[in-house]
Amino acid sequence: MSNYKIIIYGLFIIWMFNPVEAQVQETSRSMFWGSFYVYKKFNKTLGMSYFQVNSMNLQSGRMNFIQSDLSFKIKTFRHTLIGIHYTPTFSLDVVPNKQVVYHRVGIRFKYYHKIVRHVYMKHYVAAEHHFTRRAKWRQRFYYRLDLEYKNKRMMPLKMRPFIAQKIYWYQGGRLLQYYDSNGNKTDLLPPDGLHAYRIKTGLKLYPSDHLRLQVYYMLQKEFNSNLLGGNPIHSLNPNTGKIRRPFYNFHVWGLIIGYKL
């Protein structure tokens, strides 16, 4: 095993055993994400895609947001790609005057390779800038690790089982008041830090040369961690027992339909 793979696996092991503060209050949601995309490859190095997510809250049965993503992908070296993204998100609040649009731009680096026969690994490093300052971040950074099994001869419809993991760093959110155990105010700081983990697993299907399907399940958990420094993502006021900015945890059942032009 090469040195860089040892480093990557080591970082994940360190994170898994890093002290994570227990959750005080949980905000859970259950959603279905129905998505579609089209992709066009212009030549060996340049491609363009449009991706749209339509989110339904399974608890209330209503649409809660629509998110579009327009991206350009450039293949720079063998097995290495750079993606530049523009992503507006349309929040569909039940109160009409609270429906808003959030805009963000991002850049993503991807490197993929085979690790053993039929098993491939993909690495992503990404940075996002949100034009609207959210409660917990203005910028987000993440590292994503995918494992995918490919065996065209053995799997029907060129099926590819996969598992993907993401870990997020939040930066530049709105100021949050912190307290000591006696209820005295201490710091007023943004909740910067390593704060969210996502895991996604499912199947990719390729019924034809142009059509792609994906079914998956995804889980997100937010947390407080002292790895790499940072501040807690929520604040408990001992005087009132109330928590500002509780963890946002959710799970998603998803279907993606894609078409390669």
What is the C-alpha separation between 162 and 205, in angstroms, rounded?
A: 11
Mean pLDDT over 125-148 rounds to 95
Burial 190-207 (b: 16+ CB within 10 A, else e): bbbbbbbbbebebebbbe
How sure is the predictor about 87, in pLDDT bands with cuts at 50, 70 and 90? very high
pLDDT confidence of residue 96: 63
Question: Pairing relation of β-strands 247-260 and 26-41?
Answer: parallel
How sure is the predictor about 49, in pLDDT bands with cuts at 50, 70 and 90? very high
In sequence order, what are the residues at sequence separation of 6 or more whose Cβ sits closer than 8 angstroms to the Cβ of residue 47? 39, 40, 41, 72, 73
Q: pTM for the complete prediction?
A: 0.84
How sure is the predictor about 59, in pLDDT bands with cuts at 50, 70 and 90? confident
pLDDT confidence of residue 5: 46
- Architecture of the domain made up of 3-260: Beta Barrel (2.40)
Question: Pairing relation of β-strands 137-149 and 160-172?
Answer: antiparallel
Domains of the chain, residue spans = 3-260
How sure is the predictor about 170, in pLDDT bands with cuts at 50, 70 and 90? very high
Report DSSP state, residue 82.
E
Look up tokens 């507006």; give the residue: 88
Cα pseudo-dihedral 36, 42, 45, 50, rounded to 10: -20
Residue type, 78: R
Average pLDDT over all residues of the chain = 87
How sure is the predictor about 235, in pLDDT bands with cuts at 50, 70 and 90? confident
How sure is the predictor about 94, in pLDDT bands with cuts at 50, 70 and 90? low
Between 62 and 86, the more confident residue is 86
Burial of 168 (0-12, 13-18, 19+ CB in 10 A): buried
